Amino acid sequence: MITVVGNLKGGAGKSTVAFNLAVWLARHGERVTTYDLDPQRTLTDVADVRSEEGYTPLFSLHYGGTELIDDIKEKSGEVIVDVGTANMDALKGALTIADRIVIPVPPSQADVWSTQRFLSIVNKITSAENLPEILVFVNRADTHQAIRESDEAEEALAELEGIHLIRSRLCQRTAYRRSFSEGLGVFERKPSSKASKEFIKFVTILYPDVG
Ligand SMILES: Nc1ncnc2c1ncn2[C@@H]1O[C@H](COP(=O)(O)OP(=O)(O)OP(=O)(O)O)[C@@H](O)[C@H]1O
Ligand SMILES: [Mg+2]
């Protein structure tokens, strides 16, 4: 299955989510191939750190642009694609072959608006008979109950048509940054942490048949 992690806004957590998904799938014995279509090469960098540190399992990674789209389409096993707006052609190419698109959305009005724009791009370039499943979730949610922004963002996202809202949020936690900088999945570094538990809950919704 080809899962593209995307949206238009920078810093939403695409690469963080793509990396953690790839590591989790690899740890569950899946054959995982990742594609980094963003010239920032964040996914490439974290995969390099993981390999240099000697952590296993590793997953295969290809970096490039539109020339990879046919290759992605033919790939069997689990495929994770990280995209960015710096290469819009590659981003659009990936959307046209995606089985599903996973969209992390930070809890702000600007991010909700930009998600709407992203969805209109998806609708424009995907054909009705080959529509990918679109899964939206709040990433970087505030951990303080008193702050309602995450609830408000989630409710705004729930109004959007043609998407499935995953109501299992990932919170804004240093554990995501720390584990990423070390080349580890958030659930590997400290399995009993809140971040680990929430990520596992999230990923088992995305991949109910794995694990
Ligand atoms: N749930 C989270 N909690 C804390 N920090 C997070 C979380 N998700 C992402 N981050 C941090 O936010 C920053 C941006 O994340 P990331 O690089 O994954 O986003 P991106 O959408 O891939 O960005 P870009 O558009 O630049 O490619 C990174 O420093 C990352 O560690
Ligand atoms: Mg990125």
Contacts of 195 (CB under 8 A, 6+ apart): 170, 171, 173, 175, 176, 179, 186, 187
Question: Is the per-residue pLDDT at 128 higher than 80?
Answer: no
Distance CA 162, CA 118 (A): 13
**What would the mean pLDDT of 140-163 be, rounded to a whole number?**
92
Q: Quick one: tokens of 161? A: 């048509």
pLDDT confidence tier of residue 55, bands split at 50, 70 and 90: very high
Q: Quick one: tokens of 193? A: 């942490």
User: Domains, the chain, ranges and CATH?
Assistant: 2-203 (3.40.50.300)
Please tell me the predicted confidence (pLDDT) of residue 101.
98
Cβ-contact 117, 109 below 8 angstroms: no
Across 6-15, 90-99, 143-152, least confident range: 143-152
pLDDT confidence tier of residue 144, bands split at 50, 70 and 90: confident
Question: Is the per-residue pLDDT at 123 higher than 90?
Answer: yes
Cβ-contact 143, 135 below 8 angstroms: no
Ligand 1 contacts (CB < 6 A) are 10-16, 38, 40, 42, 84, 139-140, 170, 172-173, 176-177, 180
Report how far ligand 2's centroid is from the alpha carbon of 6 (Å): 9
- Residues 187-202 pLDDT 10s: 999 999 999 999 999 9
* DSSP character at residue 8: S
Contacts of 143 (CB under 8 A, 6+ apart): 171, 172, 173
Question: Is the per-residue pLDDT at 127 higher than 90?
Answer: no
Give the atom of ligand 1 at the shortest distance from the alpha carbon of 172: 3
Give the side-chain half-sphere CA count within 13 A for 183: 16
Report how far ligand 1's centroid is from the alpha carbon of 65 (Å): 21
